[in-house]
Each structure stands twice: as C-alpha cells, then as structure tokens.
C-alpha cells in the first residue's frame, strides 16, 4: 500500500540524486562551472549561476518537498533569498507591507535599498492582522511576514495574512527561518512563498551561509529570473553540505524543540529572570495562534534578566557549554545580545520601539543534553548576578 512519505523520509530521500557513474548513494558534487554546449546530457544550458546543476537541484527539491511546494531554489545567503523574493514581485511605484520587528538585516535592506528604488512600504503589527488590512493601498503588491520573529518570537496568524493577501490580489511571503519546515509550513496555510536563511536550521551545523525560497512553479519562474539577474546562486560545495545537513533536519529540530521547551520552563520559574519570550509558554501573547499553526514551538527563545545590560553581558561570558556567538539553528547552543548582533543596524530608537532592549538575550538551543544546558545556565545566572 502506498503512503505519503513522512518527515524524516523526506529529509533523507527527497531530491537526492544517486551517482549514475559509481552507484554512490549521495548526490555527486559537480565541480564544473563549464558544461558541454550543446549539452547532450541535460539538453539545456547548464551553468551554476542558473542554479540548474544536479548539486543545486538536489537540496532545492528537498526543501520544496519539506515545505510542500511545487518548486524551490537555494541561494548564496538568507538575505539573497529575502531580497530576491521581494524584488521578484516589486517594482518602482509599488507599495509593500512588512511586519514590524523583522530580522534586523531585512529591515536594513528595506530602509537602505527599497526607497531609493522608488518602492514605498509600511509596517504592520505581527499580533494585529487588522493593521495589515489597514495598510493596504491601491498600489500595494505584497505582504511580508516573519513568524516566529527574530528576536522576540512574535507570532503572526499566517492563515489570516494569506486570506487577506488573496482577497486583495497581493503576493504573501513568510520568512520561515525560526520555525523551520519541521515546525511550520506556511504554504499549507495559504501563503504564496516561503524564504529561509538556510544558514540556520536547514543546514544546522554552523559551517555555511545559504538561503532558500519555495513556492508554486509559476511564482518560482519569476524568482528564478531575478536570481539569475542578481547572481545569488549557491556554490556546489555548499550545496553538498546543505543537502547533508537537511538529512537530519527532522531529528535535530525535534530535539531542539524539546530543549527549548525545557529551558523556557526553567527560565520562566527562575526569580533572577524578568521575562521569557517563547511561544510554547501559556502566557506568550501568540501562544494560541502558535498552537494552531505550528507543529512544534521551535528551538529559539529570548529572555530579560531582572538586572540590566552589564549583568546580561556577564551571563554570556560565564556560560561554559552555551557559546556566546551570532547566528542560530546549529547543533550547538548559542547566545547573543540582539542589540549588538542581529539588530545592530537599527537605531537605538528603532530597537526601543520594537522592544529589543540592550539587555535582551537571545538563546538558540542546540542538541546537547538539556541537563547540561540548564546546569550551565544556572551557574552563569549566579555568577552574573553575584
């Protein structure tokens, strides 16, 4: 009896291309930038910038299968994915709507680049779908959200955003980096396009920078054209690493979900901690929507100490297992101050308005033993506050 493959079967097998020359079970790394032309093997012009070599197609097809998309593309960074997806659907004179509190790099792009291209935009509130409706103008083309967002783990109701976009003929894009396709599939909720920083959970080993986009064939044709023009394809060696990372995505994220839930519980009960941001906690404002649209609550959380920025910095340097470092989603637990890292390009006023305070700590749970991580956090809290 045939059945639809489950998550870990997709992770291991979807898109992977056996080596026809040797019978090797992994997709070969095609190390050529030059291919025969005319090409008797593929019948098309093969060139890595077009992202049409088997090494590039394999992880792209795996990600598309994981997101339930007709097609996917891998790119040179998460920002290449974000910018290519947006620019595929926006031109001079258009108006776009973005959720406020996006990853700082995405906001930097909007403020630094979009306006000078003659594209205007407004921000709407993650927790208030009505504010997206209120921002729509006659020339609005696109709605862009990020849920859970970086770093406050705000939750946006994806089904409502998708419905609003459909009703108004707009393209909807969701940055699914924090959830990963293991925990959330925006396309299945009606969103048109998903973008990822593949640097994070998709690869999962903190050893490469990449991005991904997944959507319908029709939308991906436009995205592909813009990617070819902008030149943000992913090199073959990184495609191979990414494909290897994707094979364990399901089991890594399941473990990270568990670790984050237990760490959130520990921190929420600790008097030395003022506030914990984690969608799995009952008191998180997006908890109900998260339960509706996410299969797991993710491996990310943020928290504020009862003390200030000095103590937060001391906490980071007192940790012995968790590493004070930028980025997230790897097998090792990482902690950072978003005001100095992911949101450093925002002005202090902009950070203030979004709730990214100078003492907010963002924690990415790895796959270590949770007892070791909690024990480490406990001793670092004591040192930081002594």
Ligand X SMILES: Cc1ncc(COP(=O)(O)O)c(C=O)c1O
Q: Nearer to ligand X by C-beta: 77 or 156?
A: 77
Total site size for ligand X, rule CB under 6 A = 17
Residue 86 near ligand X by CB under 6 A: no
Residue 107 near ligand X by CB under 6 A: no
232 contacts 270 by C-beta, under 8 angstroms: no
Taking CB under 6 A as the criterion, the residue among 72, 101, 105, 366 binding ligand X is 105
Among this protein's residues, is 141 annotated catalytic?
A: no
Site for ligand X in 225-284 (CB under 6 A): none
Residues with Cβ within 8 Å of residue 382, at least 6 apart in sequence: none
Rg (CA), the chain: 21
Question: Is the bond preceding 148 in cis, omega lying within 30 degrees of 0?
Answer: yes
In the complex, what is the shortest distance from the CB of residue 199 to ligand X, in angstroms, rounded to a whole number?
4
Distance CA 329, CA 177 (A): 9
171 contacts 186 by C-beta, under 8 angstroms: no
Q: Sheet holding 71-75: strands in order across?
A: 71-75, 211-215, 193-197, 171-175, 140-146, 95-99, 120-124
Residue reference for tokens 């992977």: 16
Question: Active site residue: 57, 144, 154, 175, which one?
Answer: 175
In the complex, what is the shortest distance from the CB of residue 283 to ligand X, in angstroms, rounded to a whole number?
24
In the complex, what is the shortest distance from the CB of residue 343 to ligand X, in angstroms, rounded to a whole number?
10
Residue 179 near ligand X by CB under 6 A: no
160 contacts 133 by C-beta, under 8 angstroms: no
In the complex, what is the shortest distance from the CB of residue 176 to ligand X, in angstroms, rounded to a whole number?
9
Taking CB under 6 A as the criterion, the residue among 107, 156, 177, 302 binding ligand X is 177
Taking CB under 6 A as the criterion, the residue among 52, 77, 185, 318 binding ligand X is 77
Question: Active site residue: 17, 49, 244, 314, which one?
Answer: 49
Among this protein's residues, is 175 annotated catalytic?
A: yes
Taking CB under 6 A as the criterion, the residue among 147, 172, 199, 322 binding ligand X is 199
Of the candidate spans 73-81, 92-100, 110-118, 135-143, the one that interacts with ligand X by CB under 6 A turns out to be 73-81
361 SS3 class: strand
List the structure tokens of 302: 């943020």
List the structure tokens of 138: 């006659």
**What x/- string results for residues 304 through 323 when contact with ligand X is judged by CB under 6 A?**
--------------------
Using CB atoms within 10 Å of the CB of residue 227, give its burial: 0 to 12 exposed, 13 to 18 middle, 19+ buried: buried
Question: Active site residue: 200, 247, 252, 362, which one?
Answer: 200
Among this protein's residues, is 108 annotated catalytic?
A: no
Residue 197 near ligand X by CB under 6 A: yes
Taking CB under 6 A as the criterion, the residue among 54, 78, 204, 245 binding ligand X is 78
Residue reference for tokens 């299945």: 188
Which of 22, 14, 23, 17 has its CA nearest to residue 55?
17
Distance CA 274, CA 260 (A): 17
Site for ligand X in 129-168 (CB under 6 A): 146, 150
Q: Nearer to ligand X by C-beta: 197 or 206?
A: 197
Of the candidate spans 34-42, 71-79, 117-125, 270-278, the one that interacts with ligand X by CB under 6 A turns out to be 71-79
What residues form DSSP beta bridges with 98?
123, 144
**Structural element, H or E, at residue 381:** helix 370-384
Among this protein's residues, is 310 annotated catalytic?
A: no
The catalytic residues are 49, 103, 175, 200
Interface contacts to ligand X, rule CB under 6 A: 77-79, 82, 103, 105-106, 146, 150, 175, 177-178, 197, 199, 209, 211, 342
């Amino acid at each position: 009896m045939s059945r639809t493959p489950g998550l870990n079967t997709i992770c291991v097998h979807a898109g992977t291309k056996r080596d026809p020359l040797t019978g090797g079970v992994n997709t070969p790394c095609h190390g050529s930038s030059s291919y025969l032309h005319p090409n008797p093997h593929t019948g098309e012009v093969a060139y890595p910038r077009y992202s049409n070599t088997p090494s590039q197609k394999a992880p792209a097809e795996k990600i598309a299968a994981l997101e339930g998309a007709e097609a996917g593309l891998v790119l040179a960074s998460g920002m290449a994915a974000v910018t290519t997806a947006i620019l595929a659907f926006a031109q001079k004179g258009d108006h776009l709507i973005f959720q406020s509190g996006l990853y700082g790099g995405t906001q930097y792009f909007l403020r630094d680049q979009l306006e000078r291209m003659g594209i205007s935009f407004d921000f709407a509130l993650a927790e208030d779908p009505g504010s997206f409706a209120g921002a729509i103008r006659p020339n609005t083309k696109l709605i862009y959200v990020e849920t859970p967002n970086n770093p406050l783990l705000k939750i946006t109701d994806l089904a409502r955003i998708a419905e609003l976009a459909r009703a108004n003929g707009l393209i909807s894009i969701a940055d699914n980096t924090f959830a990963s396709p293991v925990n959330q599939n925006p396309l299945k909720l009606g969103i048109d396009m998903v973008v990822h920083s593949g640097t994070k959970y998709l690869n999962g080993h903190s050893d490469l920078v990449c991005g991904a986009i997944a959507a319908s064939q029709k939308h991906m044709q436009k995205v592909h054209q813009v990617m070819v023009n902008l030149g943000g394809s992913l090199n073959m060696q990184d495609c191979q690493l990414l494909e290897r990372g994707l094979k364990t995505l399901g089991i890594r994220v399941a473990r990270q979900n568990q670790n984050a839930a237990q760490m959130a519980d520990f921190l929420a009960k600790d008097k030395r901690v003022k506030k914990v941001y984690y969608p799995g906690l009952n008191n998180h404002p997006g908890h109900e929507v998260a339960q509706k649209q996410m299969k797991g609550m993710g491996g990310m959380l943020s928290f504020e100490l009862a003390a200030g920025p000095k103590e937060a910095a001391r906490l980071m340097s007192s940790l012995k297992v968790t590493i004070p470092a930028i980025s997230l989603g790897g097998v090792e637990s990482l902690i950072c101050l978003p005001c100095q890292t992911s949101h450093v390009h925002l002005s202090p006023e902009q950070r203030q308005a979004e709730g990214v305070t100078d003492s907010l700590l963002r924690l990415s749970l790895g796959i270590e033993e949770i007892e070791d991580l909690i024990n480490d956090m406990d001793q670092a809290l004591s040192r930081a506050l002594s």
